[in-house]
Amino acid sequence: MQDGHRQCGDWHRPSRNGSLTRSYSVTAKLLPLVTPSAKREISTDRALLLVNINQLLTLRSASGNPGPRRGPDLAALGIIKDGAVLCSAGKIVFACKTKDAFRDPWLKRNRKKIVEIDCAGQVVLPGFVDSHTHPVFVTPRLGDFEKRIAGETYEQIAEAGGGIRLSVEGVRKAGKKLLVEKVLDALHQMAEQGTTTVEAKSGYGLTVDSEIKSLETIRGAAAKWPGTVIATLLGAHVVPREFHGRSQEYVELVCKQMIPLVVQRKLAQFVDVFTDRGAFTAEDTDKVFDAAKKHGLGVRAHVCQLTETELRPLLRFNVASLDHLDYVSDGDIRQLAKTETVATLVPGANYFLGLEKYPPARKLMDGGAAVALATDYNPGSSPTASMPFVLSLACTHLKMSPAEAIAAATINGAWALRLQERKGSIEPGKDADLAVFDVEDYREIAYWVASNRCAFSVLNGTVPSSSAQ
C-alpha cells in the first residue's frame, strides 16, 4: 500500500435538489485505520466521508473462503443499509451504518474538518475493475463496421486486411502525444461510468519500437489520471504483415527483444497472447509465457474466442486470467475450477460482432470457475467504455444475476489483475475506489440499458471534476 500524500483536487457535486456542495482542495495524509468503535486517534487533515447511502455494497467476503469469488459467494455483496464510508489518503478507513459513523468519537471532534458528501439514498459500490481493454488506437474501424453489417465475419474482414492490422498502421504513424490524449480520453470516459481500475494493453504496434511507444503511452496517460492502470504487453496480438509466413521469427522477436526491453524499462506487469485461429498457436503461447515468466512478468491470454483451445497446458504458468472463453470444454472448466485463474468474459465483443453465441457464464460458474467481466474496449469488436452496459449484457445474455455481475466486475476483476489485496471491495486499508450511482437499488445499474446512472466516482480518494459535474 502506498503511503504519503494524494491531491484530491477541486470538485463540485450537485445534490438532488440542484444545489452544489462547497469546493475543496484537499491534501490528506495517511490516517490510522479505524472502525467506528475504535478509540484510536487520527490525523486532523481532511478526509472524505460519504453518508446516507441507501445501499453500500462492500463486497466483503461473508464466507471467508480464500481465492476469487465463486459459487454462492459470487452473489454475496455485503450490503450495508443507510451506510457510510470514510476515506483518507486514498484508502478506506471504515464502512458502516451512517448512525454508527456519526457516533465515532474522532468523527465527532473532527467533522468540520472532513469533506462530507450526502449521498441522499444513492447506491455506492467498489469502483469497477475493467480487467481487459485495448485503449491505444487512433481511429474507429468504421469500414469494418459496415462490412460486418453487410454480412462479413470477423475473420473474413481480418483476412482481407481489416481488423487488428488496420489499427496497426495508425498507431505506428501516430506521435506519442496524440496517443496519450486518446488513452486519457478513454480513461475519463470509464471513470464517468464507475470504473476506477483499468488493465490497458498494447498490441496495435507489433514492432519493438511501436509496442514500446504504446506502453509508454499507457504510462503517460496513467500519470494524468487519478485511477489505477495496469499495463500489459500484447506484442503477440497477431502476426504483422511484414512477418507473413515467418510467424516463428516474430514469436522470437516478442520473446527475445520486446519482453526484455519492457522489463528493463518497467513498462508492464503482464504479457498477453491472442491464442486462437488466425493469431498464435498454443505452442507459440507456451514460448511467450515461458519468456515472460523468466523475466518476472505475469501472464494472461485471449483464448477460445473463435475456436476451442486446450487450457491445461496454459494453466501450468499460473495464468492470472483467461479471456473470452466462448468455446471451452467441460474438462477445461473442471481444471479452471481447481485454480485461481479467472475466466474473464467480455460479452460486449459478442454483442458488437452480432454473434448469437455468448460465453457460457452459467456453465463456468456452476462448474466452479471464477468469473470476471470486462469491456474489452477496442476499436474493432467492442468500442464501449461502459461497465454498466457490460453488466446489462451479463444479465440478459449470460444469465448472471445482477449481484453476480457486480461481484464479477469488482472483486473478481481485481483477482484477474492480482490486485485483490487493494481493489474490488470496500474494506479498511484498501484503496478508496468507489462508484456512486443515482439509483435506489443496485439492480438498477444493470437494468437501465445503455444509460449512465453513475453520479460520480472516487479514484484512489480523488473525485475528478469531470465525474462530479
pLDDT tens for 257-286 read 999 999 999 999 999 999 999 899 999 999
Query: Cα–Cα distance between 343 and 438 in angstroms, integer?
Result: 30
Kind plus residue range of the DSSP H or E element containing 347: helix 347-352
Q: Which residues pair with 124 in a beta bridge?
A: 56, 436
Nearest to 390 by CA among 377, 407, 373, 413: 373
For residue 334, how many other CB atoms are within 10 A of its CB? 12
For residue 257, how many other CB atoms are within 10 A of its CB? 15
Residue type at 208?
V
Nearest to 182 by CA among 170, 193, 192, 194: 170
- DSSP letter assigned to residue 357: -
Predicted TM-score (pTM) of the model is 0.89
Residue 14 is predicted with a pLDDT of 31
| Segment 159-162 long-range contacts (CB within 8 Å, at least 24 positions apart) | 159/278
Residue 164 is predicted with a pLDDT of 86
Residue type at 291?
A
The alpha carbon of residue 278 and the mean position of all alpha carbons in its chain are separated, in whole angstroms, by: 27
* Cβ(345)–Cβ(372) below 8 Å: yes
81: its cell numbers: 443499509
Domains of the chain: 5-126+425-467 (2.30.40.10), 128-416 (3.20.20.140)
- Dihedral sign from CA coordinates of 36, 465, 230, 410: positive
- Count Cβ atoms within 10 A of the Cβ of residue 62 and give its class: 0-12 exposed, 13-18 middle, 19 or more buried: exposed
Which residues of the chain are modeled with pLDDT < 70? Answer: 1-45, 466-469
What are the φ/ψ torsions at residue 261 (nearest 5 degrees)?
A: -70, -40
